[in-house]
């Protein structure tokens, strides 16, 4: 039976001092966690946080990765660079990247491929906007987004993590009900099952305003294998509470 994964997405937050304080609280409180744990931190702090958590149960993740290997791509960070820093995970296709940086399904699929080639596990984000949900397009949208990644990565698809993050529930305080989330997770599970005989290895996370109050109910759903946690991951007691719920 695969473990659940609780991954914190710090987004563009933090400083050397606040990061150290947060990590120290997490290390002091995490104990013998039953789940996998990761913190996805801003690029300038990857090396520092990796040094703080080295040898612990907490892995480090990046919030993005370049679609290019190397070269004249100013400001980009390649998968090999991330690997050099000890990064284990990389978020790809977060809705904020799709919305603000125009990342297409094809770009996201290529980024996942670069991560996998470097031995980094991509956390592939999929999710619909409120307009798409109200139009009854939820399944069509998430299946299209995941299909691009499956098409590009083929036999490696069992090595990814998927995160369902309804765009309308990110940072809004709104959360999909456990039943709504489970329904979409089941669709994604079936799509992965059709793509690989090892689909049972793939962790499918919920990523829409998971917090200490709703984590246990969400994580109790049959096809929810963890959480991609935003704001709550910046508060040690809340993040530790979510980790404790992931059994």
Domain CATH number, residue 167: 3.20.20.70
Q: What is the pLDDT of residue 147?
A: 98
Looking at the chain, the whole-number percentage of residues with pLDDT higher than 90 is 92
For residues 247 and 229, give the distance between their C-alpha atoms in angstroms, rounded to a whole number: 16
Q: What is the pLDDT of residue 1?
A: 65
8 Å CB contact between 88 and 225: no
- Residues 6+ away with beta carbon under 8 Å from 201: 2, 158, 159
Does pLDDT of 145 surpass 80? Answer: yes
Residue 155's pLDDT band (cuts 50, 70, 90) = confident
Q: Region 90-113: what's the mean pLDDT?
A: 97
Q: List residues with catalytic annotation.
A: 94, 165
Residue 156's pLDDT band (cuts 50, 70, 90) = very high
Q: Region 52-76: what's the mean pLDDT?
A: 97
More confident residue, 172 or 94: 94
Instruction: Kindly give the pairing relationship between strand 5-9 and strand 121-126.
Output: unpaired
For residues 3 and 13, give the distance between their C-alpha atoms in angstroms, rounded to a whole number: 28
Does pLDDT of 81 surpass 80? Answer: yes
Tell me the pLDDT of the chain averaged across its residues: 96
Does pLDDT of 95 surpass 80? Answer: yes
Strand partners, 7: 38, 228
Q: What is the pLDDT of residue 78?
A: 98
8 Å CB contact between 205 and 5: yes
For residues 220 and 226, give the distance between their C-alpha atoms in angstroms, rounded to a whole number: 10
Nearest Cα to 199, choosing from 227, 161, 165? 161
Domain containing residue 138: 5-245
pLDDT tens, position by position, 13-36:
999 999 999 999 999 999 999 999
8 Å CB contact between 151 and 112: no
Does pLDDT of 74 surpass 70? Answer: yes
pTM of the model: 0.97
- In angstroms, the Cα distances linking 157 to 31, 36, 100 are 32, 19, 27
Does pLDDT of 173 surpass 80? Answer: no
More confident residue, 236 or 130: 236
Does pLDDT of 2 surpass 90? Answer: no
- H/E element, 188: helix 178-195
Extract the annotated binding site for substrate: 9-11, 171, 209, 230-231
Q: Region 166-185: what's the mean pLDDT?
A: 88
Looking at the chain, the whole-number percentage of residues with pLDDT higher than 70 is 100
Task: Specify the number of domains making up the chain.
Answer: 1
For residues 62 and 65, give the distance between their C-alpha atoms in angstroms, rounded to a whole number: 7
Extract the annotated binding site: 9-11, 171, 209, 230-231
């Amino acid at each position: 039976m695969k473990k659940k994964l609780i991954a914190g997405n710090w987004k563009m937050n933090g400083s050397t001092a606040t990061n150290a304080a947060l990590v120290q609280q997490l290390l002091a409180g995490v104990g013998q966690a039953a789940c996998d744990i990761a913190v996805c931190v801003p690029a300038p702090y990857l090396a520092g946080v990796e040094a703080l958590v080295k040898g612990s149960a907490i892995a480090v993740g990046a919030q993005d990765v370049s679609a290019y290997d190397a070269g004249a791509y100013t400001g980009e960070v390649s998968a090999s660079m991330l690997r050099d820093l000890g990064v284990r995970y990389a978020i790809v296709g977060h809705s904020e990247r799709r919305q603000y940086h125009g990342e297409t399904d094809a770009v996201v699929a290529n980024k996942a491929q670069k991560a996998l080639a470097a031995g980094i596990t991509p956390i592939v984000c999929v999710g619909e906007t409120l307009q798409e949900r109200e139009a009854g397009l939820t399944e069509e949208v998430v299946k299209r987004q995941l299909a691009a990644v499956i098409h590009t990565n083929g036999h490696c698809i069992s090595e990814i993590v998927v995160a369902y993050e309804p765009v309308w529930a990110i940072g809004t305080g709104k959360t999909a009900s456990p039943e709504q989330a489970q329904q979409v997770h089941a669709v994604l599970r079936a799509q992965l099952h059709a793509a690989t005989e090892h689909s049972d290895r793939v962790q499918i996370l919920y990523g829409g305003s998971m917090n200490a109050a709703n984590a246990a109910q969400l994580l109790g759903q049959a096809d929810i294998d963890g959480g991609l946690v935003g704001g709550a991951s910046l508060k040690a007691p809340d993040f530790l509470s979510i980790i404790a719920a992931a059994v």
